[in-house]
Structure 1
Amino acid sequence: MEDDWWYRRRRRPFWEEGFFDEIDRMFEDMERMMWDLMRRLSRGFTPEGFEEFERELERKGVKPYVYGFSITIGPDGKPVIKEFGNVRRVRGKPVISEEREPLIDVFESGDEVTVIAEIPGVEKDKIDVKVSDDGRTIVINASDTNRKYYKEIELPAKVDPASAKASYKNGVLEVKLKKTGREDKGVKIKVE
């Protein structure tokens, strides 16, 4: 009878059939799988091992993905959720892009705007930072052999593009910009 196991199971309580033994076997299998994964990952913590791991994923057709978010409290007291990584939603489905969106923080203090971007694994000379002519946005573009980052950031105040100073240390890019001190008020239009 094909359903013999199920039939026996229904007739006797689970504790009489070695239910806990089966759970023990499942946990032993999971533990074995975790130790195997840890052993494989420990080789991946060296730069050579990590590159080998990425090549193996590419051969299997799996793109590495990064996704995360940060939650901060805005000046109005409401939470601000910022996403980062290379996973985007397109028509409701996740799509892995080649470029990662770095984690960004923008601070405004006095006459200065500071932009901090986390872009680890990229050499300093591979980072391109541009401020728009109108002083309203900044674009960070970084590309190395293994990683690509791209982010366009709207600034909280108008800045002077010529005043920009950038530094990069331990995977963190910091860009300081001076505010222009003048805001475009626009032109009032008379309604007839």
Structure 2
Amino acid sequence: MEPDDWLKRWQRKMPFGPWPLSEMDEMIREIERSFAEQFKNIEKEIPKNLVRERRLPDGSTRKEIGPIVYGYSVTIGPDGKPVVREFGNVKRGATQPWKEIQDRREPLVDVVSSDRDVKLIAEIPGVRREEIDVTVNEQRVIISVDTENRKYYKELDLPWLVRPEEAKSTYNNGILEITLPLKSPKGAGVRVKVE
């Protein structure tokens, strides 16, 4: 007995005939065809280095897409107000988000300031220290990694002036920490005579 035999018997017993279920079957098949077509179109638009094939233990292969990352980081700024930052490799508000996916990921970066310096703490897993490129000027930091397997990119505009020539950074267990001394520590200043 076939698995569909019970369905055919049930359709024959229906008082109004089998037509409602056969139409429903056709609608479901049409939805499945539509989904398959849409997924093929999405797969064509995604950057090629985000699509990988993985061999399973039984010898078959499986396509994987990713990583596709999008999120928010909420912290409290120096003025006591919340600071919301987006991160990831998908543009917000896109009508067709798969067309806006970048092949490089935007790392999550936390900014911690003190009276003397600013610390940037970035999550950059899966790379080696020598693959990380950090560029600093007085008000901007650019972090980038461009390897075959991992790509990261982040530009940060700083609300403070820093001394880039005295910047220091360390990388350990996927965490990059950059320390930037402030150009003039907060609270320090020059007295100006009022005339």
Task: Please tell me the TM-score bracket, short chain as reference.
Answer: 0.5 to 0.7
Structural RMSD (CA): 2.9
1:141: how far off? 0.6
After superposing on structure 2, the runs of 4+ consecutive aligned residues of structure 1 that deviate more than 4 Å are: none
Relative distance call for 1:176 and 1:182 in structure 2 (3 A) is closer
Given the alignment of the two structures, is residue 56 of structure 1 paired with residue 53 of structure 2, yes or no? Answer: yes
Aligned counterparts, 1:18-97, within 5 A? 55-56=52-53, 60=63, 62-89=65-92, 92-94=95-97, 95-97=100-102
Q: Which amino acid aligns with 1:81?
A: V
CA deviation after TM superposition for structure 1 residue 56, in Å: 1.4
Count residues in correspondence. 134
Indicate the residue corresponding to 1:100 in structure 2: 105
TM-score by length of 2: 0.60
Identity %: 49
Give how far 1:88 is off. 1.3
Gaps of 5+ in 1: 6-52, 184-192
Q: What residue number does 1:146 align with?
A: 149
SS at match of 2:91: strand
User: What secondary structure is seen at the aligned counterpart in 1 of 2:169?
Assistant: strand
- Offset of 1:87 from its aligned partner? 1.0
Instruction: Give the AA of the match of 1:100.
Output: R
In 2, are the aligned partners of 1:67 and 1:87 still within 8 Å (CA)? yes
Secondary structure class of the residue paired with 2:148: coil
From the superposition, tell whether residues 149 and 78 of structure 1 become closer, same or farther in structure 2 (CA, over 3 Å): same
Q: Distance in 2 between matches of 1:157 and 1:121?
A: 31
Contact 1:66/1:87, CA 8 A, preserved across alignment:
yes
Aligned residue identity for 1:144: T
Contact conserved, 2:89 with 2:102, CA < 8 A, in 1? yes
1:126 aligned partner: 131
Aligned residues of 1:108 and 1:156 also touching (Cα < 8 A)? no
In the alignment, which residue of structure 2 is the partner of 1:2? 18
- The code of the aligned residue for 1:56 comes to E
Higher helix share: 1
Structure 1 pair 126–2 and aligned structure 2 pair: CA distance change class (3 A) = same
Structure 1 pair 54–92 and aligned structure 2 pair: CA distance change class (3 A): closer
Please give the secondary structure, in 1, of the residue aligned with 2:68.
Answer: coil
Tell me, in whole angstroms, the C-alpha distance in 1 between the residues paired with 2:92 and 2:81: 24
Once the 2 structures are TM-superposed, how far is the Cα of residue 61 of structure 1 from its aligned partner? 8.3
The answer as to whether partners of 2:51 and 2:63 remain within 8 angstroms in 1 is no
If the length of structure 1 is used for normalisation, what is the TM-score? Answer: 0.61
How much does 1:69 deviate?
1.9
Report which stretch shifted further, 160-169 or 89-98: 89-98
In the alignment, what sits opposite 1:109? 114
Structure 2 residue runs without a partner (length 5+): 1-16, 22-49, 55-61, 187-195
